[in-house]
Amino acid sequence: MDFTAVFNFFLIAGAFQGFVFNLGTFLVRRRIEAPVLFLNLFVFMLSMNNLQSWVIDKGFTPDGFFWDHLQIPWNVLIVPMFYAFLVHYLGLEKQRLLFWRLSFAIFAAELLARVGLVVAAGRGAVSEELLEHYTNLEDGIALAYSLFLYFKAWHLLKTYPSMQTQVLQPENLKWLHRFMTLGGLVILLWMFAVFLNSFSAIFNPPYTYYPLRISSTLLIYWVGYQAFFQYVLLQDRLALRKRLGDKPVVPGAVAVSSEDRSESGHGDFLELDSYIREHERYLDPVLSQDRLAEELGMGTSTMSRLVNRFSGYNFPDYINSYRVDYARELLGNPEFSPYTITAIGLECGFNSKSTFYTAFRKFTGQTPTAFRSAT
């Protein structure tokens, strides 16, 4: 198998996929919000970096010393564009610097320095060896700056729960943590390539970049669509939450038989049930039995016994019954038809799409999609 051919296929496929994503995004959306813009710039920079590597490896550059040695430092802008997306996605653009001016200043400085050195080397004023050393230096600067922003992004995610909005709960940030982990692996491959380029006499470009380019190509496939989906879902939830604030839907109380009403503890259960409904505690995706018991000053075992006896459910099913009832009200209301089923499920207190679908099917015998279609 020709590994170089496989590598080049990955490069051009990743670049093409990225450009398709860019084009599709701008054609589909009427208005390009700042997070969508920076997400597209992130994918675009990755794609341009891959495309440039493919063009160089395939020998498609124009003839001449200048074109053979000219490389645009797209890599210096990749992490900054994601960092800007992250800041806007979290709604912290008024509290955090975006570093885009510094990023483009470094990009421009590296580009101008390379053009000057290539021209000088072409005229014999400096050696080609110096140009190679500059390439390693340029890559090292881009790597160091990317590491700086990468760790700032991690810090932002770690500290965000203390200043989180009502929509972005920790459960909703798991995809970002997964991406940061994958991105960290890509940066490690980048560090490995820079190390080999600087100190190894055996391994040289472009082979040292093969693992990095392949991993970045896979990253384009994953992050573009995942981040775009998560952002659209977030906007849907924000709009839905505003609409629900104008017209709340309150589920009814859990039905209790007449025989149960005479039993000891019935009054305590009614207080518990009333508290959950009036304070909409079922909308909390991280609500636990221990936490609710602490709020009510009640023992966990006592609460469990009351819920089991008077609702007929265990605690998770008891809370989910309210969430499902709420979701049924929204899914069956034509006024909420513009909103996605996933957004409705998350706004009803479920912490994931899969949990919502499983619970909804358990209580209704059908999926949310089938329920909405039938109403």
Segment 337-363 shows an average pLDDT of 91
pLDDT band at 76 (very low <50, low <70, confident <90, very high): very high
Q: What is the CA radius of gyration of the chain?
A: 27
pLDDT at 361: 95
Q: Give the DSSP per-residue string, 92-158.
A: -TTTS---HHHHHHHHHHHHHHHHHHHHHHHTTSS-HHHHHHHHHHHHHHHHHHHHHHHHHHHHHHH
Write down the domain spans for the chain.
Answer: 3-243, 248-374
May I ask the CATH architecture of the domain 248-374?
Orthogonal Bundle (1.10)
Tell which residue, 208, 206, 173, 203, has the closest CA to residue 190: 208
Q: What is the pTM of this model?
A: 0.74
pLDDT at 258: 44
Q: 319 with 287: CB under 8 angstroms?
A: yes
Q: Cβ of 282: how many Cβ atoms within 10 Å?
A: 22
User: What is the Cα 102 distance to its own chain's centre?
Assistant: 24
Fill in the amino acid letter for 146. S
**pLDDT tens per residue across span 193-235:** 888 877 766 666 666 777 777 787 777 777 777 887 777 787 7
Domain 3-243 has CATH 2.40.50: no
pLDDT at 89: 85
